Structure 1
Amino acid sequence: MYLPKHFLVEDPVLLGQLISEYPLATIVANLDGHFEINHLPLMLSVDGTKLYGHIAKMNPLTKVASSSNTSVTAIFHGPNAYVTPSWYPSKQETGKVVPTWNYATVHAEGFIKLIDDPQWLRSHVSQMTDIHEPTYQSTWKLDDAPEEYVQTMLKAIIGIEIEVKSLIGKFKLSQNRPAEDYDAVVAQLEKSPQEVLQEMLGYMRRPK
C-alpha cells in the first residue's frame, strides 16, 4: 500500500475503532497461485492481536488455513468521500488545485487458522449478533430461532482466527492540504445532510 507519512496511523485505539465501526473486511489470500478474496465481518480481540469470524465450510479459505501458506490480509474500509477543489480557498488564490478522494482504511496482516469447536462457534455467533442488533433498535437473539434450525446452520460453518502480525492504517483526510483548505473541507462537510459525508467529517475531527 502506498502510504505517505502524513496519512499513516499506527494508534491501536484509532485502528480498533475503525474495525469496530466498519467490521466487514475484504480478506485476500494466496491459494494455489491465485488470489482468493472474501468479504467477511470480523471482530478484533481486546488486545488487538487476533481477528475472529466464521465462514461456510465450503469456503476456499478453509483450504488456505490448511495449506503451507496461511498468510492473509484483511482490509477494513472506513468512510470515504469525493472532495471537490472548489471548496479550497487556495483555488481563488492560485487555481492550482485538483479533486481528490478522502478515505480511511486499516490493513491487518496475519495468519489464518480454523476453529472447529461447536461451543466456541455458537458463542461467537451469539456475540456478533448481540453487538450488531442494537444498531437497528432490535433485541433479536440467537436463542429466538428454533434450536434445531440453529444447530443446522451452525453445522454449515466453521470459525476462523487470524493471528495479527501487522496492523496499520491509512487515513487520507486532507492532512496534506494547507490549514485553511483543511478547515474549509470540514466546514463544507458540516453543511451536508449526506450520511457518508457526516461519517467522513467525524473522522476528520478525531485526534490524529
Structure 2
Amino acid sequence: MGFFDDFGKKISDASQGAIAKTKDFADVAKLNSNISDEERRINNAYQQIGKLYFEMHLEDFEDCFKDHFAAINESLGKIQDYRQQITNIKGVVKCPNCGAEVPKDSAFCSSCGTPVPKQEAPVDVPAAEAEVVSAPEAAPVEEAAPVETPVEEAPAVEAPVEKKCPSCGATLENGALFCTNCGTKVEEN
C-alpha cells in the first residue's frame, strides 16, 4: 500500500503546486492591468498638461516648442476649414447665439430666434481661369434589348403637413421654435 500512498501524496502536491501557480499567474495579470491603468492616467495627465501649456503660452512659448506650436496651429486651421466646408455642403450657417445650424437664407435662428447675419457669397472663379479637365472618350456602347420587369405599385404616402408662420406665412422647418424669415416665436404642437 505504500506505493499508492506515495503516489497519492505526489498527485496532491502537484495539484497544490498548480493551484499556487494559477493564483500567482492571476495576481501577476491583475498587477499588470493595474500598471496599464496607471500608465493611461499618466499619459492623460501629460496630454492635459500639454494642452494647458499650449493654451497659456500661445504667444510666449520657449523656442524648443516652436515646431510643435506651429503643427498644432496648422492642424487647428485645417479643422476650421474642414468644418466650414461641411457647413457649405449642408447649406447652413451657425447661429451666433446658440450655435444651432440654420439654413443660409434664414434671417432668424429657428432654435432661439436670434437674427442671423447674412453671409457673403463665396467668390466664383471665372470659367476662363478655371482649369479644364476633360474626361477620356469612352468606347461606344451597344444597346441591349429592353428587359421587361413587372412594376409594383408603391404604397400611398401621406404628404407631410406644412406648418406656416402665423405672422408672415413662411413655411417653417420641422421642430422650429422661431420663424427663420421674420423671427416670430412659433407655438409647439
TM over 0.5: no
Question: Relative to total residues, which structure has the larger strand share, 1 or 2?
Answer: 1
Which structure carries more relative contact order (alpha carbon 8 Å, separation 6+)? 1
Question: Relative to total residues, which structure has the larger helix share, 1 or 2?
Answer: 2
Instruction: Give TM-score scaled by structure 2 length.
Output: 0.19
Max radius of gyration: which structure?
2
